[in-house]
Amino acid sequence: MKLAVVGAGAWGTAISISLATRHEVTLWARDRAAADAMRASRVNARYLPDFPIPAKVEITAQFADAVAGCDLLLVATTTAGLRTALRQIAASGSRAPVIWLCKGFESDSAQLPHEIAAAELPKTTLRGALSGPSFAQEVARGLPTALTLASRDGDFAARTARDLHAQALRIYSSDDLPGVEVAGAAKNIMAIASGISDGLGLGANARAALVTRGLAEMTRLGLKFGGRMETFMGLTGVGDLILTCTGDLSRNRRVGLKLAHGLALDAVLKELGHVAEGVYTAREVARIASKLSIEMPITRAVCSVLDQTLSAREAVQELLRRDPKAEF
């Protein structure tokens, strides 16, 4: 297949490296100087400096050239950049199916990626999301990874999953697009909470409790959006949740760790140097939960720390003071 990856951050670069073992791949970078530098050095010095980009991966800043004649477009921007990327695709006249790799709710609109796509892409464009437990560095290294490709068109999801499937990159299919997207967005909030817990030295018991009760919050939210319970027990739910709440490569967990150590959010994000989707998603999800009367106490606690209305330790104490209740 001829593929274009739209967005040359860490994840876009990693998926390009991985897919180039079996497909013809073009990586599009928004910044011309960055594209020129990557093409010359065959490395993404800013986002993925330790992983050579194969010579067979074309790198360009020309959008029309990147998408021309492609069989599939993979959009590897942040959620904030998704709408602009989809508008570029629509304007290009490409008829190729579109898969997005971002996880989150759009700020202000509170829309999921598939809702953004519905507004920006032609109705006839096949589309879906690729999600699951995946650190970019491990994908680039060729370590085994399992993901889920979700689309409301189950046949398209199954067919495309088969096309992208490889020995070290196992792709499963799903037709629960809203469930997969909500799970991928909400788990980032729980990763911040897990980082706060670890940063405060609260121990493995506390982390296990946070992950479990976080999964309950994610599921309650997902069901309100029409997602299915089993999705949250799969790769894009509990799988991604475990990875991002425990892995040292998790950007959202690192945000929580640094907040627990007393750093201000602006300083944390500046030091991180990458987008941590959970920071923006937490506020959107808190607003949605309030509007839909969904109980999400961990999400509210994370927001209180992000907004500096409570310290990390005070937020934990507020959670612990909640009245006992039935688990299910």
Active site residues: 187
Enter the tokens of residue 227: 């997602």
Enter the tokens of residue 25: 């791949």
CB 44 within 8 A of CB 52: no
Nearest by Cα to 231 from 282, 175, 191: 175
Single-letter amino acid code for the residue at 238: V
Enter the tokens of residue 290: 């309030």
- Please give the sequence-ordered ranges of beta strands (E in DSSP) within the chain, or none if there are none: 2-6, 24-28, 58-60, 72-75, 98-100, 127-131, 145-150, 169-174
Nearest by Cα to 145 from 236, 233, 250, 77: 236
Report the C-alpha gap between 150 and 40 in whole angstroms: 36
